């Protein structure tokens, strides 16, 4: 572990320790369960196991309590509780240094935490989660590896991006699970999506034409009604103009105009 505290492994400290332990065949104790209950088993470490060891104050002879907390969030209208969220050291409930003999000093432990923190926030961090927020690949953050079940990463370069899984490398120090170009995959997915949406598109177009035809019929009916009203008013005006009372006899005479004072 001297390489971690000295910084000689730089930004990949935890991963390098993990790979070194597996290459040397050094097993670490982990909690396990069988038919008889909980027990301690010795296994080649996972990345998470190494990370937990290197970030635990017990490793440096200290006792700490309250290093994690829970947070209530609302997702899709439901309350969910996220547990195990790490708290900054200044917010720990209890921190007692020099409680037992440690593997490293407290100052070395703090230097390690800085190296690990720089690694975690750097580009290409092995602990990054969620979908990549840039690039044009359709399935970023959606694909899971068929070998280890973890979310696949995306990388961009050249004509198109690539999907790849770091699960084997990060957790077991072996080769990457799988890696493949995204161009043909995205084309296939895009064609499948358009194929699934095509019937909906035809149905929507048909309904739009029917709605347009209905609107046209309604407008045509309004024009017909307006034309009928105009014809009626014109006929009524002609009738009133042709039928006037005769001034001398008081009878109605067709075409007789009204005179003043009549």
Which pLDDT tens digit goes with each residue over 131-180? 344 567 788 777 888 777 777 878 777 667 888 887 766 666 667 778 88
Give the pTM: 0.48
What is the mean predicted confidence (pLDDT) over 51-72?
A: 89
Q: Return all residues near 262 (Cβ < 8 A) that are at least 6 apart.
A: 245, 247
Q: What is the pLDDT of residue 62?
A: 92
Helix axes 106-120, 47-54, angle to 10 degrees: 140
Q: What is the pLDDT of residue 169?
A: 65
Rg (CA), the chain: 41
**What average pLDDT does the chain have?**
76
What is the percent of the chain with per-residue pLDDT over 90, rounded to a whole number? 6
Element (H, E) at 196: helix 183-242
pLDDT higher than threshold 80 for residue 231: yes
């Amino acid at each position: 572990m001297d390489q971690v505290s000295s910084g000689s492994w730089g930004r990949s400290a935890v991963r390098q320790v993990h790979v070194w332990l597996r290459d040397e065949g050094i097993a670490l104790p982990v909690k396990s369960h069988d038919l008889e209950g909980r027990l301690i088993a010795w296994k080649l470490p996972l990345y998470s196991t190494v990370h937990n060891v290197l970030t635990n104050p017990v490793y440096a002879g200290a006792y700490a309590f309250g290093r994690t907390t829970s947070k209530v969030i609302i997702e899709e209208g439901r309350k969910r509780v996220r547990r195990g969220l790490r708290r900054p050291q200044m917010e720990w409930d209890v921190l007692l240094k020099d409680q037992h003999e440690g593997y490293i000093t407290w100052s070395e432990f703090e230097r390690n935490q800085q190296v690990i923190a720089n690694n975690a926030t750097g580009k290409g961090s092995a602990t990054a989660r969620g979908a990549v927020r840039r690039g044009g690949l359709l399935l970023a953050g959606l694909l899971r590896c068929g070998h280890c079940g973890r979310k696949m990463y995306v990388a961009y370069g050249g004509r198109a991006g690539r999907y790849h899984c770091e699960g084997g490398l990060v957790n077991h120090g072996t080769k990457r699970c799988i890696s493949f170009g995204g161009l043909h995959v995205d084309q296939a997915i895009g064609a499948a999506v358009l194929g699934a949406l095509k019937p909906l598109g035809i149905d929507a177009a048909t309904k739009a034409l029917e709605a347009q035809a209905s609107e046209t019929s309604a407008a045509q009916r309004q024009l017909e009604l307006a034309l009928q009203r105009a014809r009626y008013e014109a006929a009524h005006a002609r009738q009133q103009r042709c039928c006037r009372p005769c001034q001398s006899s008081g009878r109605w005479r067709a075409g007789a105009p009204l005179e003043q004072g009549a």
